[in-house]
Amino acid sequence: MFSKQLLDAMNEQMKNEFLSAYLYLAMAGYFEAEDLPGIANWMRVQALEELTHGEKFFHFICDANGRTDLRAIDAPQNDYDSPLDCFVYSLKHENFVTDSINKLMDLARQDNNHAAQIFLQWFVTEQVEEEASFGLIVKKLQRIGDDGNGLLRLDEELALRTFVPPAAGA
């Protein structure tokens, strides 16, 4: 059973995951407009992953007899100064998500809610991966600078990412 405060924070995090999907889809649109379909593909796959993160919260809240509360999502930023500017923005967003997951874990600990702590553990680990993958692309883009060929090579590399749906019950 959730405390009122923990349930509110769980619902807020569910919103943040769906908000992330919306943001990354907006970024995919930016890369499509920049004629970088490979990077757009990477962002679309990321958006799909974020939807599965939001769904994980939805199912956990329901399974633990909490009441889901789907909240309004603000319009995301659609335009960026450059691919690097876009990925720096996305890395900052992931830093924000990590911070909110960590606060949620602190709250679950305070409440002695063991089930919520075990559920959140997956997200704590996932955020390490998320920050690493966004951070690596930021570093690559910094190295690429104004090298158009380097950007096209990165576009080809990121075109290879595919969406792998989570296993049933995962």
C-alpha span between 70 and 65 (Å, rounded): 16
Residue 129 tokens read as 């991966």
90 binds ligand FEO (CB under 6 A): no
Sign of CA dihedral 168, 23, 115, 4: negative
Closest CB to ligand FEO: residue number: 53
Angle between helices 37-63 and 114-144 (to 10 degrees): 170
* Smallest separation, CB 66 to ligand FEO (Å): 19
* Smallest separation, CB 150 to ligand FEO (Å): 26
* Smallest separation, CB 54 to ligand FEO (Å): 8
* Smallest separation, CB 97 to ligand FEO (Å): 4
Residue 104 tokens read as 């949620």
Q: Which of 2, 39, 94, 154 binds ligand FEO (CB under 6 A)?
A: 94
Burial class from Cβ neighbours inside 10 Å (0-12, 13-18, 19+) for residue 22 reads middle
Map the footprint of ligand FEO across residues 123-152, applying CB under 6 A: 130
Q: Hunting for tokens 């990354």 — which residue is that?
A: 24
Map the footprint of ligand FEO across residues 8-67, applying CB under 6 A: 17, 20, 50, 53
**Footprint of ligand FEO (CB under 6 A):** 17, 20, 50, 53, 94, 97, 130
